[in-house]
Amino acid sequence: MDEEQVKERRYKPKKKLRKGRVILTILVVFVLVIGTYSFLQYRAGYNLAKETKVHQEIDFEGDSWSKGERENILVLGADSGAGGKEKSRTDTMMVISWDKKSNDVKIISFMRDIYADIPNYQSYKLNTAYYLGGVPTLQATLKNMFDIPIHHYALIDFRSFESLVDILAPEGIKMDVEKDMSEKIGVSLTKGEQQLDGKELLGYARFRADNEGDFGRVARQQKVMEALKDEVLSIDNISNVPQFLGAAEGYIQTDYSRKDKAIRVMDAIVSGKLEIDKMTIPVEGSYSFKSYKHAGSVIVIDKEQNRKAIEDFLSN
């Protein structure tokens, strides 16, 4: 009896050891499978974008930034051709300001028809700054008018936007369409809750043929940004994220390195749900409409009032 007990004691550790090895082997295989899948999907997305992307040379120097400060990224959306040699105007101009410590994200949208003081040029609409001198000129214009530092930029043309949406959400993105929309957007949208693919979502974001005009369009652009953020962070789309990141690497032109982009995306995912606060410039009661022969119909703003509004928005 004593000998049998000794044998049991002698073999139990071996059974535990074997069990531990089996679990470890399963974990290693699992990690390898996930890693291989993610790599292949990332490469597939990058190769897809690589076939169509045409980037321009951008001599960008971000404003100085210190650790712990908010990081401001100038996000620009333009017609096809902006990523190549053709000149274009920016329909979408946003500054995404991120406080990494608190995971606080704020979006400031700038109306494209703002009558802007463009350095080294005559005053024109704000979206003309990119046409005249690219990202550096638009950066300088925003800095001079609103005293807002720009640390990084991201530029995407609208066709690339469509592709990214379709990769991230093959079944479409749920959006509450406020009214029937079709004029000058290339698609027909029906009022109500819809699943919009990339082309439809872009059309929704660009629509302005109503009484709200560009103000309504900016509000829809912010709504789309919120929806895209939710899709990226959704567990339902986790299998699509590697290919999306690969395509974004190819489609989106930015001064971020590939490593920096990956780090920021992972920071956002690990930090949990991002809450986004939004504002539009000009703020209510700070503008009037005028028309100039050289610039057309523009929005003339009270620069000091809007500068103060931005300062308060980012500090709260």
Q: What is the pLDDT of residue 85?
A: 53
Mean pLDDT taken over the chain: 83
Q: Tell me the per-residue pLDDT of 230-248, one tens digit each, with 9 for 90 and over.
A: 888 787 878 887 888 888 8
Query: How far, in whole angstroms, is CA 95 from its chain's centroid?
Result: 10
| 104 vs 34, more confident | 104
Distance, CA of 13 to CA of 21 (rounded, Å): 12
The mean per-residue pLDDT over the stretch 76-99 comes to 78
Q: Reduce the secondary structure of 80-137 to three states and give it as a string.
A: CCCCCCCCCCEEEEEEEEEECCCCEEEEEEECCCEEECCCCCCCEECCHHHHHHHHHH
Q: Tell me the per-residue pLDDT of 257-284, one tens digit each, with 9 for 90 and over.
A: 877 776 766 666 565 556 789 999 999 9
Q: Are 107 and 95 in contact (CB under 8 A)?
A: yes
Q: What is the pLDDT of residue 38?
A: 57
The answer on pLDDT for 289 being more than 80 is yes
- CA neighbor of 314 nearest in space, from 285, 284, 268, 278: 278
Distance, CA of 193 to CA of 187 (rounded, Å): 16
Distance, CA of 124 to CA of 135 (rounded, Å): 16
Q: What is the pLDDT of residue 42?
A: 58
The mean per-residue pLDDT over the stretch 155-183 comes to 91
Distance, CA of 158 to CA of 199 (rounded, Å): 9
The answer on pLDDT for 83 being more than 50 is no
Distance, CA of 111 to CA of 118 (rounded, Å): 15
- CA neighbor of 92 nearest in space, from 156, 153, 143: 156
| 23 vs 96, more confident | 96
The dihedral sign for the CA sequence 268, 269, 275, 277: positive
The dihedral sign for the CA sequence 304, 306, 308, 314: negative
Q: What is the pLDDT of residue 251?
A: 83
Q: Are 198 and 158 in contact (CB under 8 A)?
A: no
Distances in Å between the Cα of 224 and the Cα atoms of 24, 115, 190, 219, 263 are: 43, 26, 17, 9, 23
Which residues are paired to 75 by β-bridges?
94, 154
In the numeric block, the tokens 């321009």 are attached to 56
Query: Looking at the chain, how many residues does it have?
Result: 316
Q: What is the pLDDT of residue 19?
A: 67
The answer on pLDDT for 310 being more than 80 is yes
Distance, CA of 98 to CA of 71 (rounded, Å): 5
The answer on pLDDT for 175 being more than 80 is yes
Q: Tell me the per-residue pLDDT of 7-51, one tens digit each, with 9 for 90 and over.
A: 555 555 555 556 667 677 777 665 666 666 455 565 666 566 666
The mean per-residue pLDDT over the stretch 191-208 comes to 95
Using left for φ > 0, alpha for ψ between -120 and 50, and beta otherwise, residue 5 falls in alpha
**Domain 71-315 carries which CATH code?**
3.40.630.190
